[in-house]
Amino acid sequence: MKGMLIFLVIVIGGYFFVMQVVDESNSYEDSTMSEDGHTNYYRKKANAKDRKYHVEDSLGQTVFRGTGLSLAEKKDIWSRSPLKFEMISKFPKFGLMKMFVKDRVEDSDLQKLVLKQVEKVQDDMMSGTINSNDAKYRLGLLE
């Protein structure tokens, strides 16, 4: 009886150790490894900068206006833009994607670049040289 009681205490202690101590150390590693302070600071600063160029039009839609920026800066902001992800969500309706770009990107340089990429991906998709996963990936790139 005394041996059974000792065994039960050891099993309960082991269960507590595994469920509490080990689980908490794993969650600590996940939170520290996922993002460091520098990355978090850079993301917040980039988002604050990007918000200046995403404005609301008269219809209440978010549009991109890159006035005063170089083409490289416009491409950089577009790569993080929620508008880019919204455009890609319309895949495989290329006509709808083109209309979206014409309506929501008010900067002519960037608009031409994005439309050129959409048309290139459309041509490659129709010719069968790329599949749908590659097409979605390439829609997010600007060459």
HSE-CB at 28 with a 13 A cutoff on CA atoms is 6
Reading the block at residue 82, the tokens are 């929620």
For residue 62, give every residue at least 6 positions away whose Cβ sits within 8 Å of its Cβ, in sequence order, or none. Answer: 54, 55, 56, 82, 83, 104
Say what the pLDDT of residue 52 is. Answer: 79
Residue 2 in any domain: the answer is: no
Question: The domain containing residue 87 runs over which residues?
Answer: 54-139
Say what the pLDDT of residue 136 is. Answer: 85
Residue 37 in any domain: the answer is: no
- For the chain, where are the E strands, in sequence order? 54-56, 62-64
Residue 106 in any domain: the answer is: yes
Give the other-Cβ count within 10 Å of 104's Cβ.
19
- The tens place of each residue's pLDDT in the chain, 143 residues long, gives 788 888 888 888 777 776 676 555 555 545 544 556 666 666 666 677 778 778 887 788 888 887 778 888 888 888 888 888 888 888 888 899 899 888 888 888 888 988 998 899 889 888 888 888 888 888 888 77
Residue 86 in any domain: the answer is: yes
Residue 12 in any domain: the answer is: no
Residue 4 in any domain: the answer is: no
Q: Residues 132, 80: contact at Cβ < 8 Å?
A: no
For residue 67, which of 55, 56, 80, 57 has the smallest C-alpha distance? 55
Amino acid at 92: P
For residue 53, which of 31, 76, 35 has the smallest C-alpha distance? 76
Residue 11 in any domain: the answer is: no
Residue 8 in any domain: the answer is: no
Number of domains making up the chain: 1
